[in-house]
Amino acid sequence: MRVVLGFAFTLAWALYLGGSVAMELVWRPVQRYLPPGQVNVVCQRMGRRYRWIALASLAVAGGASALVLPRSRFTLSSAYGRTAWACAACWALLALGVMTMAWLAHPALHLRHDASLSGAELAAARQRTRRAIRRMDVLLRADIAVALVAVLLTVSLRSGGLL
């Protein structure tokens, strides 16, 4: 049972982190070579599919951790307990981040501009889209940074914790 849980746990973190890294290091640079309209279409389709993979990965990682880690050692007086709680906090941050990206930040990138908008309104709408793109960039990079820390903390638990 421990092997199966360990396998699910490792695979879930790998899917989550690897997916985010691929988005940042592969998909983002490729966007330079495409017209904005096409980027928009592909981005939207990818986002709809990827959010379920990310959420499922986090759910499995959280569930497997809850089952495999000994709850009796979750005390703030030990390095193991502090690290385990920090892992839980990172996990909660990641879950919040994915949901924010999936249902707030990502849809904001793909809002269509009404053809009847005046010049000033259109400029304002474009400005909002630019801000949404920047917000998404910041969120995705923060998400990768938190995931990297979470994986480091998780890995350190086998050696007694890092904090």
Partner 1 sequence: MTSSAMQIFASYLHLLAVAVYVGGSVAMEFVLRPAQSYVPPSQAQVIGQRSADRFLVLVWGALALFPISGLLLFFSLSDQDSLRGMKFLTTSYGQTLLGMIVLWAVLVVNGAIITFVLRPRLARRASAPAGGAGVAERLEVMRAAANRVSLITRVDLVIAVFIVLLGASLAYGGGLL
Give the footprint of partner 1 on this chain (CB under 8 A): 2-7, 9-11, 13-23, 25-27, 29-30, 33-35, 38, 41-42, 45-46, 49-50, 53, 68, 151-152, 155-156, 158-160, 162
As to burial, measured by CB atoms within 10 angstroms (0-12 exposed, 13-18 middle, 19+ buried), residue 83 is buried
| Residue with smaller CB distance to partner 1, 11 or 55 | 11
As to burial, measured by CB atoms within 10 angstroms (0-12 exposed, 13-18 middle, 19+ buried), residue 149 is middle
| Residue with smaller CB distance to partner 1, 26 or 115 | 26
**Cβ 16 to partner 1, closest distance in Å?**
7
Tallying the residues shown for the chain, one arrives at 163
Are the beta carbons of 47 and 99 closer than 8 angstroms?
A: no
| Residue with smaller CB distance to partner 1, 6 or 137 | 6
| Residue with smaller CB distance to partner 1, 10 or 100 | 10
CB neighbours of residue 51 within 10 Å: 16
**Cβ 91 to partner 1, closest distance in Å?**
15
Q: Phi, psi (5° rounding) for residue 148?
A: -65, -40
**Cβ 152 to partner 1, closest distance in Å?**
5
